[in-house]
Amino acid sequence: MSMSQIDRYFERYGPAYKWFATGSIMVATISVVLSTTIVNVAIPAVMGAFGISAVQAQWISTGFLAAMTATMLLADWANRAFGMRLTMTASMGVFLAGSILGGLAPNETILTLARVVQGAAAGIVQPLAMIMLFKVFPPDKRGAAMGIYGVGVVLAPALGPWIGGVLMDAFDWRFVFYLGLPFAGIAIVLANLFLPTREESGPITAFDFVGVAILSVFLAVLLSTLSNAQRLGWDTNIILSGFTISVASAIAFIAWEMHTDKPMLDMRLFANFAFSSASVVAFIMGAGLFGSTYLLPVFVQQIQGMTPTQAGLLLMPSGFAMLVVFPIAGRLSDKVPAPVLIGVGMLVFAWSSWLTTAANVHTAFWALAGWTVLSRVGLGLVFPAISSGALKVLPPHLIGQGSGASNFIRQLGGAFGVNLLTVFIERRTIMHADAFAATQTSDNSTTMELLREVAGLMHTSGLPDTQIMPAAASFLGQAVVIQASNAAFQDAFLVVCGIFLIALIPTWFMWRAPSSGT
């Protein structure tokens, strides 16, 4: 029997090879994960630079997540068709090109395109990493391996926003796109040293291009429809048509994947009740995680007036908390049933979101940082358990597909989470602004007192009498908008809390799954 390439690498490097392989995929993952979160700190600056609204700006984040979601299911096929080494090298090359294009973008359209290119490459990299870990670690060590690999995955988003903030304050928002370049270059070198080439001989297996096309239509149409619905009206023909096309393409995608000989997403995976339950949890986790990671930097810059560096620093302690929690949770996931860890983690994250609903202009930096640390402790418990828990229940020949599907579903949740929360905040801001404005009358003693104080200050500063009352009224209008926006963010944090509590239901089903014979 011929020796596999992985065995040859172990023969050459000894037991240390598994760490060389893990290190190689970690560097690649860090470069793509950095770019997932680092741009969130730059969103207010990009809005100002290109004169665009928050709903247009969120496409810089959503476009990346949507493209990443669409290509995640390519990883298993690309690995079998071209081998781990070529697939990783090509993906990182495309990612490099997208990063440079983003840094040079002259307008928001090119910037969004660059993010889509980055996301398309990033979508292939993450499932490859999980496939590789499952190849080089024995079953009883996979949870611990996920924990160690997860350190890299979470360190990048923890440090990324802070480094991005420093680069922005020192130079320009464009430099956040260049931060991943050195990591991507190193990843290409390491991939060519330590990752195996194609194992299978014979012709390249057919690829499900029809499935990718239908999935891309579904994601692009649904996310753009949700983004534009508030501006164009939820009951207009174009928005209703968008929702109709989305539903039709979702049904067509499922029907095609069940019918084709070479499905991109093997529907047999979902016949496994434990995997289906884990998938629902992964979707909800993605929505809550990416949604909250998007919300916080925007909140502290728009409401509290923090600089990008301060907004990045706010997320840093939470990253170091995850550094401690991840390896412990990884080891625990090899010993404790996955649903127990997931349930505890979800409760902790929900509690953190509940505390954040009290955030306002006056909330102290360390209070916000503390609440974020708490959320990441919860996430640290969930991530290794859901990664290994979803795949442990699958037969070996479906692990590659399962890895891609699990990542795909989490990212799909992330794309929807960011998109829907942005739309939700916009709607709630308008609602709260109308409610607050209605109370600003001459009968409101607090309002009249504020106007008198502002008018007095303006009079002392030498403003002509004819301009004093209009200026005071303008100040009042700005105060109402900030209060309305603050209230909308508080509502959004409450929604995130609810999302994680809802996730306890499929987690309970995961717990019940083994006894139901699946």
At residue 336, the pLDDT reads 79
At residue 153, the pLDDT reads 66
Higher pLDDT pick, 450 / 315: 315
At residue 518, the pLDDT reads 37
Q: How far apart are the first and last CA of the chain?
A: 34
At residue 441, the pLDDT reads 64
At residue 471, the pLDDT reads 66
Query: Rounded CA gap, 101 and 90, in Å?
Result: 17
Query: Rounded CA gap, 130 and 257, in Å?
Result: 23
Q: What is the mean pLDDT of the chain?
A: 78
- Tell me the mean pLDDT in the region 426-446: 73
Q: How far is CA 75 from the centre of its chain?
A: 19
Residue 503's pLDDT band (boundaries 50, 70, 90)?
confident
Q: How far is CA 60 from the centre of its chain?
A: 12
Q: Give the 3-state secondary structure of residue 281.
A: helix
Residue 432's pLDDT band (boundaries 50, 70, 90)?
confident
At residue 422, the pLDDT reads 80
- Tell me the mean pLDDT in the region 10-15: 74
Q: Cα dist. 371→81, 324, 342, 350, 397 in Å?
A: 45, 17, 19, 11, 41
Query: Rounded CA gap, 476 and 455, in Å?
Result: 11
Which region among 40-49, 120-129, 193-202, 366-375 has the lowest average model confidence (pLDDT)?
A: 193-202
The verdict on pTM exceeding 0.85 is no
Q: Which residue has the tokens 């149409």?
A: 221
Which residues, 6 or more positions from 322, have their beta carbon under 8 angstroms from its beta carbon? 150, 151, 154, 155, 158, 376, 377, 379, 380
Q: Give the 3-state secondary structure of residue 103.
A: helix
Query: Rounded CA gap, 475 and 491, in Å?
Result: 25
Higher pLDDT pick, 6 / 430: 430
DSSP string, 317-368: HHHHHHHHHHHHHHHHHTTS-HHHHHHHHHHHHHHHHHHHTT--TT--HHHH
- For 465-479, the pLDDT digits (tens) are 666 667 666 666 666
% the chain with pLDDT above 90: 5
Question: Is residue 329 within 8 Å of residue 381, measured between CB atoms?
Answer: yes
Query: Rounded CA gap, 300 and 294, in Å?
Result: 11
The pLDDT of residue 190 is above 90: no
Residue 514's pLDDT band (boundaries 50, 70, 90)?
low
- For 206-251, the pLDDT digits (tens) are 777 888 888 888 888 887 787 777 677 778 888 889 889 999 998 9
Residue 200's pLDDT band (boundaries 50, 70, 90)?
low
Which amino acid, 107? N
Q: Which residue has the tokens 């994947």?
A: 257
Q: Which residue has the tokens 């995955």?
A: 153
DSSP string, 269-280: GGGSHHHHHHHH
Residue 117's pLDDT band (boundaries 50, 70, 90)?
very high
Q: How far is CA 59 from the centre of its chain?
A: 13
Question: Is residue 220 within 8 Å of residue 255, measured between CB atoms?
Answer: no
- By residue count, the chain amounts to 518
Query: Rounded CA gap, 65 and 123, in Å?
Result: 8
